[in-house]
Structure 1
Amino acid sequence: MDGADAHEDEHGDLLSTLEVIEAQPLATRAEAYDTLHDTLARRLEATPGTPS
Structure 2
Amino acid sequence: MTDANRTEDAGPEGSELISRLRIIEGQPLADRAAAYASLHDELARRLESGPTDHRVSG
Q: Rg bigger for which structure?
A: 2
Structure 1 runs of 4+ aligned residues shifted over 3 Å read none
The structure with the greater share of residues assigned to helix is: 1
> So what's the TM-score if we normalise by structure 2?
0.73
Distance in 2, matches of 1:48 and 1:29, equals: 31
- Percent identical: 52
- The number of residues matched between the two structures is 46
What's the CA shift string for 1:9-33, capped at 9, x where partnerless?
0000000000000000000000000
- 2:53 corresponding residue in structure 1: 50
Normalised by the length of structure 1, the TM-score is 0.81
Aligned to 1:22: 25
The higher relative CO (CA closer than 8 Å, separation ≥ 6) is in 1
RMSD: 1.4
